[in-house]
Amino acid sequence: MIFYDLINRQRAHFSPNSWRTRMALAHKGIQPEIRDLLFGEIGNIRPGGDKLTIPTIEDKGRFITDSWNIAQYLDEAYPQTPRLIATGAEGQVLRFFQHWVQTTVHAGIARLIMLDLYNSLAPSDQAYFRTSREKQYKMTLEEIQGGREERLDAFRKSLQPMRLSLALGPFISGEQPGYADYLAFGGFQWARTSSAYSVLVADDVVYAWFERCLDLYDGLGRREAAAHA
Amino acid sequence: MIFYDLINRQRAHFSPNSWRTRMALAHKGIQPEIRDLLFGEIGNIRPGGDKLTIPTIEDKGRFITDSWNIAQYLDEAYPQTPRLIATGAEGQVLRFFQHWVQTTVHAGIARLIMLDLYNSLAPSDQAYFRTSREKQYKMTLEEIQGGREERLDAFRKSLQPMRLSLALGPFISGEQPGYADYLAFGGFQWARTSSAYSVLVADDVVYAWFERCLDLYDGLGRREAAAHA
């Protein structure tokens, strides 16, 4: 299996959606070969085909793209490994959790680190990144991140439902980590690898949970270089 | 089975946590006998015992209180009926959904309708309600609801992860309603039975979903009297 993943200028893997998949693969005991890419090289994964996005895996002659599709594919193609997404209603509630991560964790962190993220990228990726994000937000990167101190408290408060779950057990999924944990982990690992800004405080149960996640699978997450100021 | 539930001055059942349980019982095809109570009568459910809360059910000689405990009890005591809460990680993700409902739906709606809710209660319950809520919020009921127009847009925006799920299917749980739907339904039914204030707009997929939920089980939710202005 080949895993196509983005790297920044210090060659750290930073994509939040990729981290979901990297943790999911570790959960299943699958060790893919990693192919490092810049944003500008995504088009080379499969020349001439439809545009793929990151993460993409190549397995048994097929390309599978999008973290949710990949998780479903892994459950089907490797049925002897621990399942990530339940069938039926339970899988749909997990999908809601992904939507919560997207609208609360990712969107919140984006407004705290966007300019740092830009600065962490390889120089050849920066023009593309600035243009695409400024078009999406209808603001400059400087404006997206600007005034982050005033948004920090609201971001931390928005994690309250996660905090209530972490009061019941070490992981969102209970005693053992599951795909919900990897979904949320991706967002915080994106912040850790892209910015030295502290999005969490050390006495928060979410911080302690993130530290536990960094230690999973022989420190798979922790081995990735954190951004430095 | 006896179901102890709160009523307001127009004898409508309004408790959000009770609505979770009422829908869960209907999901399982169980029809309890309903015993209507005022806040001031909760202590009479089981004189001399520990204080119970609403919802409480009495079944096979036992009292079970708290909507989550009741759902777990029903799954165990009635194993031949459709399950509400999966075991393991999936049940924990559903619990997260409950935390999201509590911190986002209930907390948001509370700041939109608290004074209307007070006015909808039986006069003999109002002094207790005012004292307990004002202590909890450290504000008067008038201040809790005051300025609600300025919070309405943020409340509606906070439902965005639900909206993304409802873009994929008619219910949060997928093609058929599940306990996640009943958890969220409770909050909106609380608003509908306690206040004429429109917390949702008619062109929102969340509004359409709520209408679908009101129709479930022969209109169980819709038969309950809505508050009028």
Whether B99 and chain A come into contact, CB under 8 Å, resolves to yes
- Closest C-alpha to B74, from B37, B34, B36, B22: B22
- Distance CA(A184)–CA(B103), nearest Å, equals 18
B129 φ, ψ (degrees, to nearest 5): -60, -45
User: Does residue B93 register a pLDDT over 90?
Assistant: yes
Of the two residues A50 and A105, the one the predictor is more confident about is A105
- CB-nearest partner of B92 from A92, A103, A165: A165
DSSP letter assigned to residue B130: H
- CB-nearest partner of A89 from B100, B102, B178: B178
Average pLDDT value for residue range A46-60: 89
pLDDT bin (cut points 50, 70, 90) of residue A41 is very high
pLDDT bin (cut points 50, 70, 90) of residue B194 is very high
If one counts every other C-beta atom within 10 angstroms of the C-beta of residue B186, the result is 25
- CB-nearest partner of B165 from A92, A164, A174: A92
Helix axes B179-194, B107-120, angle to 10 degrees: 40
Q: Which of residues 148-167 of B touch A (CB under 8 A)?
A: 160-162, 164-165
For an interface test with A, the pick among B75, B94, B96 (most A C-beta atoms closer than 10 Å) comes out as B96
CB A155 within 8 A of CB A108: yes
Among the residue ranges A43-57, A84-98, B51-65, the one predicted with the least confidence is: A43-57
- Distance CA(B3)–CA(B36), nearest Å, equals 9
User: Does residue B163 register a pLDDT over 90?
Assistant: yes
- CB-nearest partner of B97 from A91, A96, A102: A96
State how beta strands A2-6 and B62-65 pair.
unpaired
**Quick one: how far is CA A51 from the chain centroid?**
20
For an interface test with B, the pick among A92, A165, A176 (most B C-beta atoms closer than 10 Å) comes out as A92
Question: Among residues of chain A, what percentage have pLDDT more than 70?
Answer: 100
Distance between A48 CA and the closest CA of chain B, angstroms: 30
Q: What is the mean pLDDT of chain A?
A: 97
- CB-nearest partner of A99 from B90, B161, B179: B161
Average pLDDT value for residue range B26-44: 96
Whether A180 and chain B come into contact, CB under 8 Å, resolves to yes
pLDDT bin (cut points 50, 70, 90) of residue A120 is very high
- pLDDT at A149 (0 to 100): 98
User: Does residue B58 register a pLDDT over 80?
Assistant: yes
User: Does residue A50 register a pLDDT over 80?
Assistant: no
Cβ contact A96–B174 (<8 Å): no
* Closest-approach residue (CA) in chain A for B101: A161
Cβ contact A103–B160 (<8 Å): yes
- CB-nearest partner of A161 from B103, B160, B179: B103
Distance between A30 CA and the closest CA of chain B, angstroms: 21
User: Does residue B229 register a pLDDT over 80?
Assistant: no
Cβ contact B164–A99 (<8 Å): yes
Tokens of A26: 């570790």
- pLDDT at A218 (0 to 100): 98
pLDDT bin (cut points 50, 70, 90) of residue A106 is very high
- pLDDT at B174 (0 to 100): 97
- pLDDT at A229 (0 to 100): 73
pLDDT bin (cut points 50, 70, 90) of residue A48 is confident
User: Does residue A38 register a pLDDT over 80?
Assistant: yes
- pLDDT at A47 (0 to 100): 82
Strands (E), chain A: 2-6, 33-37, 56-59, 62-65
Q: Is residue B167 classed exposed, middle or buried when 0-12, 13-18 and 19+ CB atoms within 10 A define those classes?
A: exposed
* Closest-approach residue (CA) in chain B for A177: B89
Can the peptide bond before residue B161 be classed as cis, meaning omega within 30 degrees of 0? no
Tokens of B152: 């309405």
Cβ contact A180–B97 (<8 Å): no
* Closest-approach residue (CA) in chain B for A92: B173
For A5-14, the pLDDT digits (tens) are: 999 999 999 9
pLDDT bin (cut points 50, 70, 90) of residue B6 is very high
User: Does residue A227 register a pLDDT over 90?
Assistant: yes
- pLDDT at B50 (0 to 100): 76
Lookup result for tokens 């999973």: A216
Whether B223 and chain A come into contact, CB under 8 Å, resolves to no
- pLDDT at B65 (0 to 100): 96
CB B145 within 8 A of CB B115: yes
State how beta strands A56-59 and A33-37 pair.
unpaired
Lookup result for tokens 């085909």: A49
CB B161 within 8 A of CB A99: yes
pLDDT bin (cut points 50, 70, 90) of residue A51 is confident
Handedness of CA A165, A170, A174, A176 (dihedral sign): positive
Cβ contact B97–A92 (<8 Å): no
Average pLDDT value for residue range B173-201: 98
Whether B108 and chain A come into contact, CB under 8 Å, resolves to no
Cβ contact B97–A97 (<8 Å): yes
Cβ contact B99–A165 (<8 Å): yes
Task: Annotate A102-148 with three-state secondary structure.
Answer: HHHHHHHHHHHHHHHHHHHCCHHHHHHHHHHHHHHHCCCHHHHHCCH
For A142-168, the pLDDT digits (tens) are: 999 999 999 999 999 999 999 999 999
Cβ contact A103–B172 (<8 Å): no
Question: Among residues of chain B, what percentage have pLDDT more than 70?
Answer: 100
Q: Edge-to-edge strands of the sheet including B56-59?
A: B33-37, B2-6, B56-59, B62-65
Cβ contact B164–A102 (<8 Å): yes
- pLDDT at A71 (0 to 100): 98
CB B211 within 8 A of CB B219: no
Neighboring chain B residues of A102 at a CB cutoff of 8 Å: 161, 164
Amino acid identity of B182? Y
Neighboring chain A residues of B168 at a CB cutoff of 8 Å: 92, 95
- pLDDT at B120 (0 to 100): 98
pLDDT bin (cut points 50, 70, 90) of residue B184 is very high
Neighboring chain B residues of A169 at a CB cutoff of 8 Å: 92
Rg (CA), chain A: 17
User: Does residue A49 register a pLDDT over 80?
Assistant: no
- pTM over 0.95? The answer is yes
- pLDDT at B47 (0 to 100): 82
Report ipTM for this prediction: 0.96
- pLDDT at B48 (0 to 100): 79
- Closest C-alpha to A84, from A183, A220, A225: A183
